[in-house]
Amino acid sequence: MNHSAPEQPADVVARLRATFRTGRTKPVEWRMSQLRRLRDMLTENGTDLAAALHTDLGKSATEAFRTEIDFTVREIDHTLDHLADWLRPEPAPAPAHLGGDVSVWTQYDPLGVVLVIAPWNYPAQLLLAPVVGALASGNAVVAKPSELSPATSAVLARLLPAYLDTDAVAVVEGGVPETTALLAERFDHIFYTGNGTVGRIVLRAAVEHLTPVTLELGGKSPAFVDRDTDLAVVADRLARGKFLNAGQTCVAPDYVLTDPETAAALEPLLVNAVRGLYGSDPAASDEYGRIINERHFDRLTGLLDSGRTVVGGTSDRAAKYIAPTVLADVSPDAPVMREEIFGPILPIVTVPGVDEAIDFINDRDKPLALYVFSESEGTRRRFAAETSSGGLGHGLPLAHLTVSDLPFGGVGESGMGNYHGRYSIETFSHRKAVLDKPLH
């Protein structure tokens, strides 16, 4: 049987651009119909997607639905509920020197053809949530799933063309060669989620066409734990935020900063929290995931001797399993503190107090998220005023990214630009200034 050759990236982009130029993607009705069909895709095929996520990352069905499938459905529902209001032209006051018969306003115009490059850690959500914003803004979209999560990539490549307008939405699978070929094309916006090394490659490629770029990166997101807090609650919330998806979450608490006395009190409570979540043998827990591949497994196991093991520390390369691990007595210069961990290892670093914690954070790259556990309003205000991070969470890790009315994105080394809800419309649209003065 003869099979046609895969469409080349240049042909994909040219085809989608031709569609965009017809105006087909601009009507609000088209945008909303695509969002509804994407919602149908998720609700009708959630089991297939969850199975693929389990194959790639060992995710339980509960976690797959909560953090990827249902998460994206909520983003779609929020967008459908508010899209007409978001797109409404916004009038502005006209200055007196132009006369009283002048009208001025701003309106959102679609950018054109958008490229979305997804990572492997949440391979469905982090591909589809930006696609929601790009479609809602009236763009044609090239979706590039991660080749490091091949089962999920294959399911998405099969399902998206079955549900969405194939003249306006295309899926390009593959690895570095395919991504490199895509980046050589002219897009009207590139949305990349991943690490800073590849982010720089994306940015350099975009310069050739002066293409605007959103970079959703990562970094070492600190969690400061103040003395005189409810440490049992803190330990439970830290463990839930850190060990979700086996720690492979860009906004997971990367390390804990606290004073020595609080660190000592926190250690046994973190042991209890891990056992409460995954039992005495997390390897046997249906709710605990696996490391994406052997390369990342080897990198992570190389960090396990960076401190005293409080809990965990065991691993199985054949199963790509690393136990939920807490390390104490960790030096700021230890290997585990030199790079984003992106795995199930939680180091505890001690500092004398709040002043030193703020200095510690400010001496390093701006993180994607910062978490503060403190009952002191003054301390909370200080972290808000004296540090810079993509997001700030008081008392609860990860939760800010689930709020569709909040922008999600980094700052400095942790990224540029943001999205979710209305902020996706701002990212994937041009806010055009319009002036109208009658000729007579």
Structural domain boundaries of the chain? 9-217+416-436, 222-402
The fraction of the chain above a pLDDT of 90, given in percent, is 97
CA distance 433 to 90: 10
Q: What's the chain's average pLDDT?
A: 97
Check residue 386 and give its pLDDT.
Answer: 98
pLDDT higher than threshold 50 for residue 2: no
> Rounded mean pLDDT of 332-338?
97
Q: Rounded to an integer, what is the distance from CA 227 to the centroid of its chain?
A: 31
CA distance 287 to 420: 27
CA distance 199 to 105: 35
pLDDT bracket for residue 7 (50, 70, 90): confident
Give the CATH number of domain 222-402; options: 2.40.10.10, 3.40.1130.10, 3.60.20.10, 3.40.309.10: 3.40.309.10
> In the Cβ-directed half-sphere of 193, how many Cα atoms lie within 13 Å?
27
CA distance 326 to 345: 6
> In the Cβ-directed half-sphere of 134, how many Cα atoms lie within 13 Å?
29
- Is 250 catalytic? The answer is yes
pLDDT bracket for residue 357 (50, 70, 90): very high
pLDDT bracket for residue 3 (50, 70, 90): low
Check residue 337 and give its pLDDT.
Answer: 98
How would CATH label the architecture of 9-217+416-436?
3-Layer(aba) Sandwich (3.40)
What residues does 225 pair with on adjacent strands? 373
Residue 116: closest CA among 214, 233, 223, 249:
214
> Rounded mean pLDDT of 208-227?
97
> Contact at 8 Å (CB) between 73 and 39?
yes
Residue that the structure tokens 């690490």 belong to: 195
- What pTM does this model have? 0.96
> Contact at 8 Å (CB) between 114 and 406?
no
Check residue 105 and give its pLDDT.
Answer: 98
Residue 119: closest CA among 142, 152, 141, 76:
152
> Rounded mean pLDDT of 304-332?
98
Q: Catalytic residue among 63, 68, 185, 216, which? A: 216
Q: Catalytic residue among 250, 340, 413, 426, which? A: 250
Check residue 73 and give its pLDDT.
Answer: 98
pLDDT bracket for residue 1 (50, 70, 90): very low
pLDDT tens-digit readout, 89-116 = 999 999 999 988 999 999 999 999 999 9
Q: Which are the contacts of 222, defined by CB distance < 8 A and separation ≥ 6?
A: 253, 254, 255, 256, 257, 357, 360, 361, 367, 370, 371
pLDDT bracket for residue 6 (50, 70, 90): confident
Q: Do domains 9-217+416-436 and 222-402 have the same CATH topology?
A: no
Check residue 4 and give its pLDDT.
Answer: 60
> Rounded mean pLDDT of 21-42?
98
- For residue 264, CA distances in Å to 135, 175, 329 come to 50, 45, 10
Check residue 440 and give its pLDDT.
Answer: 82
Q: What is the DSSP string of 68-107?
A: IIHHHHHHHHHHHHHHHHHHS-EEEPPPGGG-TT-EEEEE
What residues does 192 pair with on adjacent strands? 117, 215
- Is 386 catalytic? The answer is no
> Contact at 8 Å (CB) between 330 and 349?
yes
pLDDT higher than threshold 50 for residue 160: yes
pLDDT higher than threshold 60 for residue 421: yes
> Rounded mean pLDDT of 126-143?
98
